[in-house]
Every structure is written in structure tokens, then in C-alpha cells.
Structure 1
Amino acid sequence: MVWDKSDFFAPKFRSKLMNIAAVKTKKQADAFLNVVRLIYQNDSSYVRPLDNDIEAVFNPDKNTFYQHGEATRWILEDANGRTIGRIAAFINEKKANYEGKRIGGVGFFECIDDYATAEKLFDTAKEWLKERKVTTVDGPINFGENDQYWGLLVEGYTPPSYGMAYNAPYYQSFFEQYGFEVKMEQITNEFSIVNGLSPRFVKIAEYVISKRPNLETKPFDPKQIDKFAEDFMNIYNSAWAEFENFTPIKKDYVIETFKKIKPIVDPGIIQFAYVNGEPASFVMCLPDVNQIFQKFDGKLTLWNKLKFLYLKKTNFIERVRVVVMGSKPEFQNMGLESVLTYRAFQHTIKNTNVKDIELSWVGDFNEKMLAIHKGLGAKPSKKHITYRLELV
């Protein structure tokens, strides 16, 4: 038998030479984080997430989702011991069992441009999930709420705002070749405030304010985290109750989130509305600190912390991300979201150097929110996809 040297380069042969390992040690955790240097070494739009933020996802002491779920992650090395990919898999028992399915997730996927490598990563995560009786896999998603690290970017390869997922363009073909199908499109819109707010939008907001003397708006106060966490939780759980497979959030999770964002938050762009004193609506916006973090290579050293504080004070940031907004059902269609975004953007124009507002992200099913985006004069800037893979 004559051995054809080309067999060495065949996907199945290469796959056998790869070594996949669950992350157990600090060295492996570092490899999990640092593989992005290889993947994005020639991509000027990539902004590396802070290592601390990624590690917090996989730390049971910092991620409350471990109270009702399980997660693990792997790194993949080639024959020379070079890390060439990573993936994580998780199951959230609060949402796992729905309409006869048992749903798990994969995320934090990174991979060189080689399908055999991607397939090895997907196979490993799939087997772990199947051992836990999972029948349906969503991905790429987060082991946490969907405001961070959620979806696969397929349009708009520009620098991501803080918390937004970014990936190499070839990942889409990997997911689809493996059998993942589109579950949901996630739409991000953007508009400029260089020339002020849309006159139509301002007119609507001011009209609502003039017609509702029982309406009061308040900016977030970091000194009253407990109160605003309670109000946020009540509004959020009521507003999202109608959506598919919704699980109410707990106050502890909101407090944890508020404490996490405290160093970067601008209280004036997180606004709450009260009708006759009752919490009715909120909008949460965050400065796009990725415009500073892009200089840090994921490392929040003492020097980088000082640099961050300095740049934040000098109005270095020129973009704000609207992360989430919502109203209780009984207060919907009253224009409260318009009033709150008006208040937030008024503050932004008056007190910052921000030029652009990113509205991210909204599911393609959420027609009400997409209509608000349109009213603001926003245009599409990015699209992510949440994929689904049926195992049975």
C-alpha cells in the first residue's frame, strides 16, 4: 500500500492529532482567553473583552446562574500544542425544559479558519450536552442574561460596543455546515446626535410629558442601588413576561449587575419613569467603554485602570449603547420609552462628547421596539443570529 502524503492534511487525520481538554488549570484558563490573539491578529475592528469579565462567567462565586445551572469549557490544541480553538457549553435549568424540549447552549466559540477544528469543538460540546439529556442546542449564547456575548455577528463588522458579540466572518459557515439553523435575528440600529435629536421624536416626547402631570422621571442613583434594583426587577419581570420561555430575574442579580457597571455608568443615561408613584418604565444606556478597552488587550492592570479613569473624565467616549428598555404592560403605548430616551439623550448631548447612539439589540419578533428605533431615525448597523441545533 502506498501512503499518500496528502492524507496527512485530510480533515479526519488532522482531527485525530488535535487535543481537546476541559479547562481546569490557570494555564488552561489563560489559553482559553488568549486564543483570540491568534484568531484576530489581523482584524483591526476586534476589541478584546476584559479577561475579568469572561472569567466571571465561569466563576460560581460571581455568576448567579450556577445556582440553577452548569457550565464547562474546553480548549483545543493542534499537534504542536498551539491553542487553535475554544468553546463552552452550559445548561440553565430554569429555562431548559420548554415545550417538550430540553434546551442547552454553546458559546464563547473561537476557532481558526478550519472546519475540522470547528467540528471537533462542536462535537465535544454536543456530547457533554447529550449526557445531560439535552435535545436542543442554542448558540452562540451566554451563560447569563442576553445583554452580553449573545448571537453570531453576520453583518456589520465594525468595532463592537461593550458587551456586544464580535466574531470572525467565517464562523457563520461553520455553524450552518454543522447543522445549526436560524432561531432568531438580532437587529442593532444606530443614529447620530451630532445635529441633535429628531424633531419628530422631540415633539412626541414633549407632548407626552405635557399631557401626563402624574408622570415623574428619575435618573439612576448609585447611592440607592437597592431601591432602583427593586424597581428595575418589577418593571422587567412584568414587561418581559409575555415572551417565549421567559424566566423572571431576581433582585440579587440586578444588584450584582448594578455593582458591576458602577465604575462605567453615567447615571444620567439610566432613567426610570413613575406614574402616580408606581414604577412604570425604564431605559438603561451605557457609555461604550470599549472605545477605551480596545487599548487594553483584555487586561485591567493598575495602569490601565488609571488610564481608563483619565480617558473617561476627558469625554473620550463618543458612543452610547442603549442596552435595554421596557414598560409594564399597563403602561405600554403611553410613550414612556420615548420620554425616557429623550431624557437620557438630552443629558448625553449636554454633558458628553457622544456623537452616536447604538440601539442594541432587538429580536426580529419585537415589533414594538423596532418601531421605537424607527421613530428615533435609527438605521440598521449590525445583525447577529441566534442559531438552534436539534439533536433528535
Structure 2
Amino acid sequence: MIIAEEVHHENQKKEFLEFPVRLYQHDKNYIRPLDKDIEAIFDPQKNKFFKTGECKRFIFKNKENKTVGKIAVFVNQLYEQNQPTGGIGFFDCINDQETANFIFDYCKKWLQERGIKAMDGPINFGERDKFWGLLIEGFIEPLYGMNYNFPYYKELLENYGFQIYFEQLCFSRPIFAEVSRVFTVMHAKHSKNPAISARPLKKNNLEKFAKDFTEIYNKAWAAHGEGKQLEEAKTLKMFKTMKPIINEHISWFVYENEKPIAMWMNIPDLNQWFKYMNGKFGFIEKLKFLWIKKFKKNEKMVGLVFGVVPEWQKKGLEGYMIWEGTQHLRKHTDFKVTELQWIGDFNPKMIKIAENLDTEVTRKLATYRYLFDREKVFERHPML
């Protein structure tokens, strides 16, 4: 017999955070997320999606009163799909199909009571940039904000009837790997043009780089199906929030006579420092973080955004920028590998860009969908 408990009290919140720690205690690749990052998702004062949706989280216990699983289930009016679709996320479970089926059935019933016809998962009650998807290939240390799970989770979902809605591809390359000859040739070509220059982002001039970032992003992605137009004020706010972890050697901008035409934005992978925090980030942990950040080498950086304005696309400018930045960061940083944030398999243009950067797929996640009407034809995410 399994009992579901809705998370209300502090001891239940603690158990929601601690259960996966016990579950993964012997997995060397598991990195505990920061408690504050998880709790913020379920705080209506911090998560704007509560204004347009509803979210509940549950722990599941067996007859011995031991936790055997946990999950969050939610609806969001802004999550527009072909049919009313809810979400599940933050799923953890023992390796038992009966237990998993009970949890999924419980979520299905909760969603049906709210008029929902399908559920996607594991996804986040928030943006796609964090805690989105199930790891299905590449069981290595997760990047900051990335889901991690046991390989058997795939069977638990698929045996229940979930189908892959889209795959999330993560591309990576070693910093010191041989660079494509195309890059060096294009670098040599554009280096001869006195109007073209490349420079790294500087913390003491965030206003300028926020403005340049916004201009490039909006031009490069406006007609690409990659989300909304950015506002300069929001970009600057984001840059200021990121300031403590910005590495001035790894984010680059390219200019034509001071006009911004390309960017390559990277940050250190915070999990390479947070893995020593055991999920905590109070005053003591912040001091520890500063010490670790200063003395512990971080060898992994994460590619956030790459963009070239339309008039400079297909002219090899990315080769110039990548090789200019790579030569510099090889000398001035300890990074040995770079990994791009995931790209959906429904986005062939972005996948092509990633492949052209001389990368390879090093891990895959998947967003699953379960249609409540089992007679309805399942369709994957439409291509962009």
C-alpha cells in the first residue's frame, strides 16, 4: 500500500529535498541541487508562474512509512499545446514499476480533475532553462540546473505509456581539441579586415555589453522561432545578477566599426563548485563557495548563447570569433571542456550551428508526453 502526502509542513519540505540524496548516495555522478533553487520554484512569492497556474508536490510512502517516491504536478495556462496539457517534474522513485505507476496515476487523476488531457514530464514549473527533461544518454555529472536521474527512470516512464515528445541534445567539445581548419581559415580572412575586432566581456562595462547583447540577440533570433524579443533593461538585470560568476575570458563579442555583429556567451559550470555545498547556500556556504571558487580549478564551461546578425551569417564570422576566443581562454583559464545548453531535436537550424562549432553530442535528455486518451494519435513536437 502506498500513501500520498501533499507537501505542506517543514518536515515534508525537508523530506522532498532529502529523499533523492539518500536514493543517489552511491552514485558518484549525482550532484545535489541547491535547496534554495528547488524551494524557489514552489514559492508563489518567487515563481511568477503561480499567477497563471497551479502546482502541488507530493511524497509517497509505503506501509513502513518509508518514502519511495516524490513528484510535483502542475498546470500552467501559458503552456499552450494541441490539447490542455499539464506537467510533472522533480520525479524521483525507487526502481519499482508498481510504485511509479501509482505516482503517475495519482498525477493523472489530479490533472484530469482540472480538465487536462495530457501530461508532459519531467519538466519544470517555470522556464525551460532549468530542471527540464529526463536524462536518457550520457550519465555524467549534470550541469548546474540540469536534471539527473538513474537509467531505470526511462523504463519507468515508457512502461507506463509515456512517449518521447522531443529529445534534448547537449553538444560538447574539449577546449584543447584540434580546431576545424575552416575556423582558422576564416579567422585569418577576417583578421585582415581592419573594421572587424573581437573583445571579451568586461564586468566594469556591463551596460555596454548588455546593450550589445540585446541588439545581436534580437537580430539573430527574431525570425528564428527562438522565443521573444529581449529588452535591454532585462538583459542588464540578468548581467548584473550573473556578475559574481562572470569569467571575463570566456564571453566574446565581435564588432564591425564598433557595431556589434556577433557574440559567444559562456559561464563556468557552477555545479563544479556547488557539488561541495551539499545543497546548502547559507552564510557559511557562501564563504566556502568564495574560497573554493578562488582555489579550486573549474575545468568546465557552459555555452549559453551564440549569435551572428543576419547580414554576417554564412560568412565564417563564427570561425573568427571561436578561434579568437579559444586562443585567449587556452592561455588565461583552466577550462578543459565546453558544453552547450541543450537544443531540442525539433530545431535543425540550431543543431546545424552546434555541429558547425565542431562539437559532438555528449548527452541526451528527453521530454516525455502521456496522452490520457489512449486512442488519440501521438505526435511529436513540430519542427521549427
* Distance in 2, Cα, partners of 1:63 & 1:235: 28
Identity %: 40
Which residue in 2 is equivalent to 1:270?
Answer: 251
Deviation at 1:89, TM superposition (A): 2.4
Residue 226 of structure 1 and its aligned partner are, at CA, apart by: 5.6
Counterparts of 1:252 and 1:102, CA distance in 2: 34
Superposition deviation, residue 292 in structure 1: 2.1
Work out whether 1:141 is the aligned partner of 2:123.
yes
Q: 1:162: which partner in 2?
A: 144
Cα distance change of structure 1 residues 27 and 286 upon mapping to structure 2, 3 Å threshold: same
Given the alignment, which residue of 371, 374, 381 partners 2:362?
A: 381
Counterparts of 1:351-370 in structure 2, within 5 Å, are 351-370=332-351
SS for the counterpart of 2:44 is coil
Question: Aligned to 1:178, which of 144, 149, 160?
Answer: 160
1:119-163 per-residue CA deviation (whole Å, 9 max, x = no partner) reads 222223323333333323222122232222121111111112222
Q: Deviations over 1:42-67 (max 9, x none)?
A: 11111111111112222233333334
- In structure 2, the gaps of 5 or more residues are 374-384
Partner of 1:26: 10
Q: Distance in 1 between matches of 2:16 and 2:358?
A: 40
Secondary structure at the residue paired with 1:381? strand
With 278-287 and 165-174 compared, the bigger mean Cα shift is at 278-287
Q: Out of 28, 39, 46, which is 1:55 matched to?
A: 39
Distance in 2 between residues matched to 1:122 and 1:131, nearest whole Å: 14
TM-score normalised by L of structure 2:
0.84
Corresponding position of 1:7: none
Cα distance, 1:68–1:351 mapped onto 2, change above 3 Å: farther
Structure 2 residue aligned with 1:288: 269
Matched, 1:316 2:316: no
Give the secondary-structure state (helix, strand or coil) at the position aligned to 2:279: coil
> Contact 1:283/1:325 (CA < 8 Å) preserved in 2?
yes
Question: How many angstroms apart in 1 are the aligned matches of 2:259 and 2:111?
Answer: 43
CA contact 1:48–1:298 (8 Å) conserved in 2? yes
The structural deviation recorded for 1:195 is 5.3
Q: How big is the shift at 1:278?
A: 5.5
The question of whether the paired residues in 2 share the 8 Å contact of 1:219 and 1:268 is answered with yes
CA separation in 2, counterparts of 1:206 and 1:245?
31
Query: Aligned runs of 1:58-207 on 2, under 5 Å?
Result: 58-94=42-78, 96-98=79-81, 100-194=82-176, 197-207=179-189
**Aligned to 1:262, what secondary structure does the other structure show?**
helix
Q: Which amino acid in structure 2 is aligned with residue 129 of structure 1?
A: L
Q: Displacement of 1:382 after TM fit?
A: 0.8
SS at match of 2:69: strand
Alpha-carbon distance, 1:246 to partner: 4.4
For 1:82, the aligned partner's letter is K
Distance 1:45 1:237 in 2: 37
Deviations 1:151-191 (A, max 9, x none): 11111111122222211111101111222111111122222
Instruction: Report SS of the residue matched to 2:302.
Output: strand
TM-score when normalising by structure 1: 0.82
After superposition, the Cα gap between the structure-2 partners of 1:150 and 1:274, relative to the gap in structure 1 and judged at 3 Å, is farther
1:116 partner letter: E
SS of the equivalent of 2:244 reads coil
Aligned residues: 373
What does the per-residue CA deviation read over 1:287-315, in whole Å, with 9 as the maximum and x for residues that have no partner?
12212222221112433322322232235
Match of 1:41 among 15, 25, 42: 25
Structure 2 counterpart of 1:61, which letter?
Q
Q: Does the CA-based 8 Å contact 1:192-1:356 persist in structure 2?
A: yes
Distance 1:85 1:377, change over 3 A: same
Structure-2 separation of matches of 1:196 and 1:300: 39
Letter of the aligned partner of 2:7 in structure 1? V
C-alpha distance in structure 1 between counterparts of 2:5 and 2:225, whole Å = 35
Q: CA 1:324/1:151 → structure 2, altered by over 3 Å: closer, same or farther? A: farther
State the 1:231 CA deviation. Answer: 5.0
Deviation of the 1:380 alpha carbon: 2.4
Counterpart CA distance in 1 for 2:233 and 2:84 is: 26
Q: Distance in 1 between matches of 2:19 and 2:154?
A: 19
CA distance in 1, matches of 2:331, 2:77: 45
Paired residue secondary structure (1:97): coil
Given that residues 249 and 332 in structure 2 are in contact (C-alpha distance below 8 angstroms), is that contact kept between their aligned partners in structure 1? no
The alignment partner of 1:91 has SS state of strand
Q: Give 3-state SS (helix, strand or coil) of 1:44's partner.
A: coil
CA–CA distance in structure 1, aligned partners of residues 167 and 330 of structure 2: 31
| Counterpart secondary structure, 1:132 | coil
Q: Secondary structure at the match of 2:170?
A: strand
d(CA) in 2 for partners of 1:366 and 1:122?
29
Does structure 2 conserve the Cα–Cα contact (< 8 Å) formed by 1:315 and 1:353?
A: no
SS at match of 1:187: strand
Conserved? CA contact 1:64–1:253, under 8 Å: no
In the alignment, the residues of structure 2 paired with residue 52 and residue 41 of structure 1 have an alpha-carbon distance, to the nearest angstrom, of: 20
Q: 2:85·2:120 contact (CA, 8 Å) conserved in 1?
A: yes
Q: Contact between 1:322 and 1:359, CA under 8 Å: does it hold in 2?
A: yes
Paired letter, 2:164: V
